[in-house]
């Protein structure tokens, strides 16, 4: 168990370090001088030199790199060129709505996906299974922002059930403002949940303990919904953790559709203003979120499932 | 943005017995759903290629006498706020988007397969380094990374053409590597060593053709992912710059008039959905066909 955790942790550290290296070089791939591009026309050479010094761009590459690593590890992400505030603070103010949107989207994908997968697995290749397959294939092919617009058109503009833009906090506020974007985000993930969980359920249904449950006379719904589902829980967890990156990408676009003040819309603003410092920090944050989520999922899986932690022996 | 069924966690099982090449070739051997999917894709690609010939109006032909006309025989998808024909714009957008999708899908594919094949074949330190690099690439949320690249090279098609391949090779490399680990133990691969073939010949002539198959099947999904990504970037205003139309930018144009002129945002989106369904059918059909050929 311990050796599995250490190996898994070491892998995460290596990938996190890779992310640091990649984001460090990102800013150095900007053709020309990033400071001059951003401050062009707004600052005199002396001010540009001062900003360059603050960012340590006037030092050798290796010094810059070690400085970047140590600053980042201490939680200092630098100062935004354009907003004139610490990057960490700016991001901190906007991370809430995005996290709520991702969490809500995941929840909806499970609420929709798990029952659909059970129904599909009860009668594989039956008409319901086929209908579900066609339906999920359709939602998967939809651009999430387009689906969001369609939901806004139907449930926002026509039926007036939900507002089509804005964000407010609290459970009530989230339910009101984030339901449509979370649905648009969750529906694409629902496809993945249904597909993976269905095939995992069908595989589990071949095993002997399911045969035993059936021979005890339990109803098929109970066999699939309780006994088989419990065993497929791990797969669902893995699907969710693998798709964190996909969800983060989806929020970037959906926050724009529904005008939610989260980190996704912050990223788009930063790109438009060419605020490299902010883009760099956001890219690092997004990558780190993915690495940590999959680490957490693997640890939970190892704690709950002895087959995983003993596999490497 | 790749919503992948736990890709990389569970690579698709590799054929235990490798088929001889070109056995069940030809369109007739494909299952029905693959044929339907291929048909849908063929129509869409043809529409894109022939856009200048079949579009009834120019993509930026303004006509202020016909603003926000609803769909009709003369304007199949209606007109937008400047009287531009949405159907013609969609055709031109499809032309641009499909050209980009083909480039950003099929340029990284052979590169990724080759890198993955070498990593799987040689193993050792080379494999470890390549695997960590692919892990890092895949850990980045795809959209965020491409947007970061666009922030560097500036908005427009160039950013997409650079940004997507930087990431996209990694998935193919991971797929090819995991298949190579199995393939390398196959008798015919061992035979290449016995025959004294160079490693270059072994990898390029004997391994890669076998590894290509699953990557090509995956590429049908990848094309959908890339088209969705492209539409999303264009929606955010980071894709092709006006007046050039992309599917995402047409949808974005229609957002403000969603209630009064629903067709501007709705109908181009359906074209994206159609492409996704076609590619999905083709991909599913191909992988079924592969299974059937194997069992």
| Span A241-260, pLDDT tens digits | 878 888 888 899 999 888 88
Q: What angle do CA B54, B57, B60 make, to 5 degrees?
A: 125
Instruction: Tell me if A97 sits within 8 A of A167, measured CB to CB.
Output: yes
* Rounded percentage of chain B residues whose pLDDT exceeds 90: 13
- Tens of pLDDT, residues A266-304: 998 888 887 888 888 888 888 888 888 888 888 888 787
Q: What pLDDT sits at residue B22?
A: 47
Asked if B232 lies within 8 A of A138 by C-beta distance, the reply is no
Report how far Cα B240 is from the mean position of its chain's Cα atoms: 18
Q: What pLDDT sits at residue B1?
A: 41
More confident residue, B244 or B176: B176
Asked if B147 lies within 8 A of A268 by C-beta distance, the reply is yes
**Mean pLDDT throughout B256-283?**
85
Asked if A279 lies within 8 A of B238 by C-beta distance, the reply is no
Structure tokens at B30: 């494909």
pLDDT band at B295 (very low <50, low <70, confident <90, very high): very low
Q: Which residues touch A166 (CB under 8 Å, ≥6 apart)?
A: A177, A258, A259, A260
**Mean pLDDT throughout B244-252?**
85
Q: What residues of B are in contact with residue A268 (Cβ under 8 Å)?
A: 147, 236, 238
Q: What pLDDT sits at residue B291?
A: 43
- Tens of pLDDT, residues B107-136: 999 999 999 999 988 888 888 889 888 888
pLDDT at A99 over 70: yes
Q: Which chain A residues in 282-301 lie under 8 Å from chain B, judged by CB atoms? A: 282-283, 286-287, 290-291, 294
Q: What pLDDT sits at residue A84?
A: 76
Distances (CA, A) of A172 to A167, A168, A169, A175, B138: 11, 8, 8, 5, 36
Q: CB contact, 8 Å: A276 with chain B? A: yes
pTM of the model: 0.84
Across chain A, mean pLDDT equals: 83
pLDDT at B264 over 50: yes
Query: Which among A137, A248, A257 has CB closest to B144?
Result: A248
pLDDT band at B5 (very low <50, low <70, confident <90, very high): very low
Query: Which among B6, B236, B262 has CB closest to A242?
Result: B6
3-state secondary structure of B85: strand
Q: What pLDDT sits at residue B28?
A: 62
Q: Which chain A residues in 148-177 lie under 8 Å from chain B, judged by CB atoms? A: 149-150, 152-153, 157-158
Q: What pLDDT sits at residue B45?
A: 92
> How big is the A-B interface in CB pairs under 8 Å?
181
Asked if A276 lies within 8 A of B262 by C-beta distance, the reply is no
Q: How many beta carbons lie within 10 A of that of residue A95, not counting itself?
A: 15
Of the residues A253, A262, A267, the best mutation for testing chain B's interface (the one with the most B CB atoms within 10 Å of its CB) is A253
Q: What residues of B are in contact with residue A192 (Cβ under 8 Å)?
A: 3-5
Q: What pLDDT sits at residue B292?
A: 41
Asked if A140 lies within 8 A of B143 by C-beta distance, the reply is no
Q: What residues of B are in contact with residue A279 (Cβ under 8 Å)?
A: 147-148, 151
pLDDT band at A309 (very low <50, low <70, confident <90, very high): low
Q: What residues of B are in contact with residue A249 (Cβ under 8 Å)?
A: 1, 141-144, 229, 232
Out of A101-105, A120-124, B11-15, least confident range: B11-15
Nearest CA in chain B to A10: B132
Structure tokens at B51: 């856009």
Q: Distance (Å) from the C-alpha of residue B35 to the closest C-alpha of chain A? A: 17
Nearest CA in chain A to B226: A143
Q: What fold is seen in the domain B77-294?
A: MetI-like fold (1.10.3720)
pLDDT band at B104 (very low <50, low <70, confident <90, very high): very high
Instruction: Tell me if B85 sits within 8 A of B56, measured CB to CB.
Output: yes
Query: ipTM greater than 0.90, yes or no?
Result: no
Q: What pLDDT sits at residue B293?
A: 37
Out of A96-100, B90-94, B249-253, least confident range: B249-253
Q: What residues of B are in contact with residue A267 (Cβ under 8 Å)?
A: 144, 147
Q: What pLDDT sits at residue A40?
A: 66
**Mean pLDDT throughout B220-226?**
88
3-state secondary structure of A310: helix
pLDDT band at B16 (very low <50, low <70, confident <90, very high): very low
Supply the Cα-derived Rg of chain A in whole angstroms. 24
**Mean pLDDT throughout A124-130?**
85
Q: Distance (Å) from the C-alpha of residue A286 to the closest C-alpha of chain B? A: 7
């Amino acid at each position: 168990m311990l050796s599995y955790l250490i190996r898994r942790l070491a892998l995460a550290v290596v990938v996190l370090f890779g992310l640091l290296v990649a984001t460090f070089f990102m800013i150095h791939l900007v053709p020309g001088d990033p400071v001059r591009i951003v401050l062009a026309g707004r600052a005199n050479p002396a001010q540009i030199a001062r900003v360059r010094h603050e960012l340590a761009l006037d030092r050798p590459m290796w010094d810059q790199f070690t400085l970047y690593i140590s600053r980042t590890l201490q939680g200092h992400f630098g100062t935004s060129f354009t907003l004139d505030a610490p990057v960490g603070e700016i991001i901190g103010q906007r991370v809430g709505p995005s996290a709520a949107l991702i969490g809500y989207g995941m929840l909806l994908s499970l609420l929709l996906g798990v029952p659909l997968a059970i129904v599909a697995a009860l009668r594989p290749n039956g008409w319901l299974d086929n209908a579900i397959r066609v339906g999920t294939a359709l939602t998967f092919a939809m651009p999430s922002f387009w689906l969001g617009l369609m939901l806004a058109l139907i449930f926002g503009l026509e039926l007036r059930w939900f507002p089509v833009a804005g964000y407010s906090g609290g459970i009530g506020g989230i339910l009101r403002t984030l339901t449509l974007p979370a649905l648009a985000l969750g529906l694409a993930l629902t496809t993945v949940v249904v597909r993976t969980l269905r095939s995992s359920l069908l595989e589990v249904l071949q095993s002997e303990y399911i045969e035993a449950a059936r021979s005890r006379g339990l109803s098929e719904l109970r066999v699939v919904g309780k006994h088989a589902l419990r065993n497929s829980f791990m797969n669902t967890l893995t699907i969710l953790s693998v798709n964190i990156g996909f969800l983060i990408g989806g929020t970037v676009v959906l926050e724009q559709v529904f005008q939610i003040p989260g980190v996704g819309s912050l990223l788009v603003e930063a790109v438009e203003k060419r605020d490299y410092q902010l883009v760099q920090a956001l890219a690092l944050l997004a990558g780190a979120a993915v690495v940590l989520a999959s680490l957490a999922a693997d640890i939970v899986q190892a704690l709950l499932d002895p087959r995983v932690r003993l596999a490497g022996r | 943005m790749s919503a992948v069924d736990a890709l990389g966690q569970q690579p698709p099982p590799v054929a235990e017995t490798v088929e001889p090449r070109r056995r069940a070739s030809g369109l007739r051997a494909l299952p029905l759903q693959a044929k339907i999917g291929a048909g849908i894709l063929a129509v869409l690609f043809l529409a894109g290629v022939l856009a200048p010939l079949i579009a009834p109006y120019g993509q930026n032909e303004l006509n202020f006498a016909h603003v926000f006309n609803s769909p009709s025989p003369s304007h199949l998808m209606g007109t937008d706020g400047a009287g531009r024909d949405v159907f013609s714009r969609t055709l031109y957008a499809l032309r641009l988007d499909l050209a980009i999708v083909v480039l950003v899908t099929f340029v990284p594919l052979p590169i990724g397969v080759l890198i993955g094949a070498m990593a799987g074949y040689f193993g050792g330190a080379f494999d470890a380094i390549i695997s960590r690099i692919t892990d890092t690439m895949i850990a980045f949320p795809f959209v965020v990374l491409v947007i970061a690249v666009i922030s560097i090279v500036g908005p427009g098609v160039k950013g997409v053409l650079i940004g997507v391949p930087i990431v996209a090779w990694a998935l193919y490399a991971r797929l090819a590597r995991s298949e190579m680990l199995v393939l390398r133990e196959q008798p015919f691969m061992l035979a290449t060593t016995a025959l004294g073939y160079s490693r270059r010949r072994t990898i390029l002539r004997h391994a890669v053709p076998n590894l290509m198959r699953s990557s090509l099947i995956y590429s049908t999904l990848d094309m959908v992912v890339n088209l969705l990504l492209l539409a999303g970037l264009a929606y955010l205003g980071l894709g092709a710059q006006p007046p050039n139309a992309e599917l995402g930018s047409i949808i974005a144009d229609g957002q403000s008039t969603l209630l009064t002129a629903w067709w501007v945002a709705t109908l181009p989106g359906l074209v994206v959905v159609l492409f996704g369904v076609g590619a999905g059918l083709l991909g599913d059909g191909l992988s079924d066909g592969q299974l059937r050929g194997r069992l």
